[in-house]
């Protein structure tokens, strides 16, 4: 199934993987300070909503510097991927420092090198706004998630408020230079990917980030 929409249909901004890789290479040294505490509440809430994950297989798509990794329950089988080698270097340093045991791989979120139905939960924290084709990423997340598994998306999406929405659309071509698109349309995104979230909630302060949970339905033949 193709995405059916270009990134331009979901956001005013366009990005390329190599451009974002350079942005995050530059940000990697300060990422934990700049985006750690302010966004950690959303990370904690996302992992908490997963419930008892001991023995479960979790794929974290966009593991970054590994700020989620210490939040999982002991016994959780965690795999993390990221496109940025510099961010992964810092995640690997965190794993060694904190005695964690995930598997980490450099990989494109739109081309996951895992078999179908490999994971119980597939989680994308603060990723959807930084990829060229977010619909393709969601379709890949569904492919590698087992039927009746869960897909968890934590992200900033375009406001429903008309004035704020216009502002976000206006600034989005500029915010890509600090690592994200400000105006991704959540409703269009999930519709294009054929998803219907079971529920959503606002997280962090200010509450301009959204946590969305979806049940992974069987893929159409």
58 falls within a domain: yes
Dig out the tokens for 137 from the structure: 């990423």
pLDDT at 179: 86
pLDDT of residue 98: 96
Tell me the pLDDT tens digit for each residue of 82-111.
999 999 999 999 999 999 999 999 999 999
Domain membership of residue 221 (yes or no) is no
Contact predicate 102/78, CB 8 Å: yes
Task: Name the pTM for this structure.
Answer: 0.93
Residue 131 in any domain: the answer is: yes
Q: Is residue 1 part of a domain?
A: no
CA distance 24 to 117: 30
CA dist list (Å): 98 to 26, 39, 49, 67: 24, 20, 23, 11
The answer as to whether 200 is a domain residue is yes
**How far, in Å, CA of 79 to CA of 92, rounded?**
12
**What does the chain come to in residues?**
221
Give Cα 26 distance to the centre of its chain: 19
> Which residues, given as ranges, of the chain have pLDDT below 70?
1-8, 220-221
Specify the CATH number for the domain of residue 116: 3.40.50.150
How many domains in the chain?
1
Q: pLDDT tens-digit profile of 56-65? A: 999 999 999 9
Q: Residue 68's closest CA among 86, 89, 41, 93? A: 41
Phi-psi region of 62 (alpha: psi -120 to 50; beta: other; left: phi over 0): left
């Amino acid at each position: 199934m193709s995405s059916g929409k270009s990134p331009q249909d979901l956001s005013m901004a366009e990005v390329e993987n190599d451009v974002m890789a350079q942005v995050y290479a530059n940000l990697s040294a300060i990422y934990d300070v700049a985006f750690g505490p302010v966004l950690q509440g959303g990370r904690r809430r996302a992992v908490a909503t997963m419930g008892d994950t001991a023995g479960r297989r979790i794929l974290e798509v966009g593991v970054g510097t590994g700020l989620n990794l210490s939040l999982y329950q002991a016994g959780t089988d965690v795999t993390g991927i990221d496109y940025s080698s510099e961010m992964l270097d810092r995640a690997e340093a965190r794993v060694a420092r904190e005695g964690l045991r995930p598997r980490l791989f450099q990989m494109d979120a739109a081309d996951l090198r895992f078999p179908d139905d490999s994971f119980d939960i597939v989680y994308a924290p603060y990723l959807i706004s930084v990829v060229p084709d977010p619909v393709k990423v969601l379709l890949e997340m569904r492919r590698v998630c087992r039927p009746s598994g869960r897909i968890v998306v934590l992200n900033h999406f375009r406001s429903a408020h008309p004035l704020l929405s216009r502002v976000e659309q206006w600034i989005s071509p500029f915010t890509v230079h600090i690592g994200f698109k400000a105006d991704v349309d959540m409703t269009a995104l999930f519709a294009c990917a054929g998803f219907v979230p079971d529920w959503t909630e606002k997280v962090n302060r200010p509450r301009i980030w959204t946590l969305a949970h979806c049940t992974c339905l069987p893929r159409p033949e």
